[in-house]
């Protein structure tokens, strides 16, 4: 085996901007059993996230579409488990907030319902059930359904910061279907808020703070400018939201949505949430057409009331079981090395997704 190395680090000479798209290629040669053991060169690309400087590995597999999965069969396996978020159970089995915090014990808006999570992942931890429908395939989500969910989650967070001034960090999160870690099929968000950030949320906040200190500009503003100028990962804009493929991917499909000039989820207008919901619907159409069935989503907020140059942003990473035995797509890399693997070049992904925006 021969190991070669090429360094493709980008220099920012002459650029009045701190965004750096750094990457490195490493190659090795193997003898390929599928080609009578002739030599074959394999390439690994390592990319540094331009904000957090964390590395991600990109194996640009020559696959356009993933194989179809029989989702009816897959979801049918959970058929006998009673769903806690279908209407009957929701009324009888789900916890409620105390009356001094939220009158009536829960927030209800149309079919959307916000109530406490049984498991306390943060000081405030709520579930937002989006609809009375037990399973909504990606192709059936509507802008209205998502908007109602996000705006009700936002009302909850507004109440949290109103009653508890120690809460400085919060986010809205979504594990869609069990492949992404979702333990209930029924569509629901998890809202978390408390005194401590998660690791990645803190990296975003600190990274943005450091960038502002050094370059006197908002990192997210500069990222949008740079990505638009390069045109390689800029998917498009929907109103006040800008959609990009992530330079250092954390999964099969990894996309970002950035809300211009918004520091906190609390600050988002109804129109911002409608823009985001519509952008998600466009992304879902791509996921559906390219056989991505499941995803993780987080909507990150900056540290509340700190006056940072943080811009609210979302990250959506698709998840799936790996053939042929249905293995998890999270392995020792993610669990024990804090390293992520992407299987498609973000620039190729952007080309595919652009037609949907």
Binding interface with Zn ion (CB under 5 A): 83, 85-86, 134, 186
* 29: three-class secondary structure by DSSP: strand
* 325: three-class secondary structure by DSSP: coil
Taking the least distance from each CB to Zn ion, the nearer of 108 and 331 is 108
Gap between the Cα atoms of 159 and 156, Å rounded: 5
Nearest-approach distance from CB 136 to Zn ion, in angstroms: 10
Nearest-approach distance from CB 90 to Zn ion, in angstroms: 8
Gap between the Cα atoms of 304 and 156, Å rounded: 15
Nearest-approach distance from CB 178 to Zn ion, in angstroms: 13
Taking the least distance from each CB to Zn ion, the nearer of 186 and 319 is 186
Residue nearest to Zn ion (CB): 83
Nearest-approach distance from CB 83 to Zn ion, in angstroms: 3
* 302: three-class secondary structure by DSSP: coil
In a 13 Å sphere around the CA of 76, the CA atoms on its Cβ side amount to 5
Count other C-beta atoms under 10 Å from residue 60's C-beta. 15
Taking the least distance from each CB to Zn ion, the nearer of 86 and 206 is 86
CA distances from 304 to 142, 213, 290, 342 (A): 30, 19, 38, 32
Beta bridge partners of 62: none
Query: Which helix or strand (DSSP H or E) is residue 230 part of?
Result: helix 219-230
Taking the least distance from each CB to Zn ion, the nearer of 123 and 134 is 134
Nearest-approach distance from CB 354 to Zn ion, in angstroms: 35
Nearest-approach distance from CB 132 to Zn ion, in angstroms: 8
Nearest-approach distance from CB 111 to Zn ion, in angstroms: 12
For 3, which DSSP code? E
* Residue recorded with tokens 């000479």: 13
Beta bridge partners of 256: 244, 315
Strands (E), 147-187: 169-176
Q: Are 195 and 168 in contact (CB under 8 A)?
A: yes
Nearest-approach distance from CB 100 to Zn ion, in angstroms: 30
Count other C-beta atoms under 10 Å from residue 65's C-beta. 10
The DSSP bridge pattern shows strands 254-259 and 241-245 to be antiparallel
User: 153 Cβ partners below 8 Å, 6+ apart?
Assistant: 114, 126, 128, 172, 189, 191
Taking the least distance from each CB to Zn ion, the nearer of 148 and 201 is 148
Nearest-approach distance from CB 117 to Zn ion, in angstroms: 16
Taking the least distance from each CB to Zn ion, the nearer of 75 and 330 is 75
């Amino acid at each position: 085996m021969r190991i070669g190395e090429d360094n493709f680090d980008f220099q920012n000479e002459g650029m009045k901007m701190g965004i750096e798209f750094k990457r490195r290629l490493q190659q090795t040669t193997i003898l390929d059993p599928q080609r009578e053991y002739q030599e074959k060169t394999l390439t690994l690309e390592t990319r540094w996230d331009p904000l957090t400087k964390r590395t991600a590995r990109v194996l640009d597999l020559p696959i356009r579409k993933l194989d179809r999965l029989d989702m009816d069969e897959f979801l049918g396996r959970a058929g006998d488990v009673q769903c806690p978020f279908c209407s009957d159970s929701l009324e009888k089995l789900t916890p409620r907030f105390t009356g001094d915090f939220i009158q009536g014990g829960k927030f209800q808006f149309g079919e959307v319902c916000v109530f406490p999570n049984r498991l306390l992942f943060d000081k405030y931890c709520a579930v937002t059930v989006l609809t009375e429908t037990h399973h909504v395939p990606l192709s059936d989500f509507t802008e209205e359904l998502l908007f109602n969910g996000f705006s009700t989650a936002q009302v909850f967070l507004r109440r949290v910061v109103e009653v508890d001034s120690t809460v400085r960090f919060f986010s809205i999160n979504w594990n869609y279907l069990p492949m992404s870690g979702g333990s209930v099929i029924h569509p629901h968000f998890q809202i978390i808020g408390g005194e401590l950030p998660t690791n990645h949320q803190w990296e975003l906040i600190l990274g943005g703070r450091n960038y502002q200190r050094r370059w006197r500009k908002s990192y997210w503003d500069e990222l949008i400018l740079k990505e638009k100028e390069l045109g390689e990962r800029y998917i498009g804009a929907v109103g006040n939201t800008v959609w990009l493929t992530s330079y250092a991917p954390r999964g099969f499909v990894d996309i970002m949505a950035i809300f211009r000039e918004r520091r906190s989820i609390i600050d988002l207008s109804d129109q911002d949430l409608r823009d985001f919901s519509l952008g998600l619907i466009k992304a879902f159409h791509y996921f559906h057409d390219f056989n991505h069935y499941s995803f993780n989503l987080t909507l990150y907020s900056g540290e509340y009331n700190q006056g940072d140059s943080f811009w609210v942003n979302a990250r959506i990473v698709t998840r799936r079981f790996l053939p042929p035995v249905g293995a998890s797509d999270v392995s020792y890399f993610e669990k024990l090395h804090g390293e992520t693997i992407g299987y498609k070049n973000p620039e190729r992904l952007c080309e595919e997704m652009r037609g949907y925006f």
